[in-house]
Chain A
Amino acid sequence: SQKIEQNSEALNIQEGKTATLTCNYTNYSPAYLQWYRQDPGRGPVFLLLIRENEKEKRKERLKVTFDTTLKQSLFHITASQPADSATYLCALDDMRFGAGTRLTVKP
């Protein structure tokens, strides 16, 4: 069966640096992959969607890459801010999620 993994449970970085989060999947070939942000006690909020034929997608300080050969997506936040602190989740096109990475940006 397919499996989706986010390698880091938690990531701590300094304000202004670039945060890079990883999402890997196995036994599956998704048509697209999504990234969501979740704040404590809230439902996830959609950030970006990248399709299998797209290598990279950007939205303001966010960038997502999708490598179907490696079966991996990378999620970057440039010029990170303390307000970016949250849990970030990736999801495949079947609406199944990875466990999430808790990002903390320190001032």
Chain B
Amino acid sequence: SQTIHQWPATLVQPVGSPLSLECTVEGTSNPNLYWYRQAAGRGLQLLFYSVGIGQISSEVPQNLSASRPQDRQFILSSKKLLLSDSGFYLCAWTGSSGANVLTFGAGSRLTVL
């Protein structure tokens, strides 16, 4: 069966520090991968999605970036965090064809101080 792993679960970072969140999927190949952010009490904002290795689509201009170095690995990064980057980051995957539903990871809660 397919599983999705996301880490770290929680982190507290100072403003201006770098960020790296990692997501891996097991039990499937060529998934579509997604990064979302959820601010406190708000909805899900789509940040990035990827349909293949090295293929990244960015939804909003900001100081975050994403990379997909391997088929089932998706990384969210920042060189310098802002206070506004605080939130709950969720990685998700779907199959690559047909009507697809999202399967989410457990999330990473980031607090920027």
A interface residues (Cβ-Cβ under 8 A, vs B)? 31-32, 34, 36, 41-46, 49, 51, 89, 91, 93, 95-100
Contacts and interface: CB of A to CB of B under 8 A. Distances in A.
A46 B34 CA distance: 15
B43 A46 contact: no
Contacts of A36: 102
A41 B104 contact: no
Contacts, number: 47
A22 to B, nearest CB: 15
B43 A89 contact: yes
Given A49-B99, A89-B43, A100-B43, A95 B104 contact: no
Contacts of B105: 43
B46 A46 contact: no
Contact of A44 (B46, B99, B104): B104
B106 A89 contact: no
Q: Interface on chain B toward A: helix, strand, loop, or mixed SS?
A: strand
Interface residues of B, number: 20
B103 interface: yes
A41 B88 CA distance: 8
A46 B102 contact: yes
B15 interface: no
Nearest to A45: B104
A8 to B, nearest CB: 13
B49 interface: yes
Given A95-B34, A95-B49, A46 B103 contact: yes
B81 interface: no
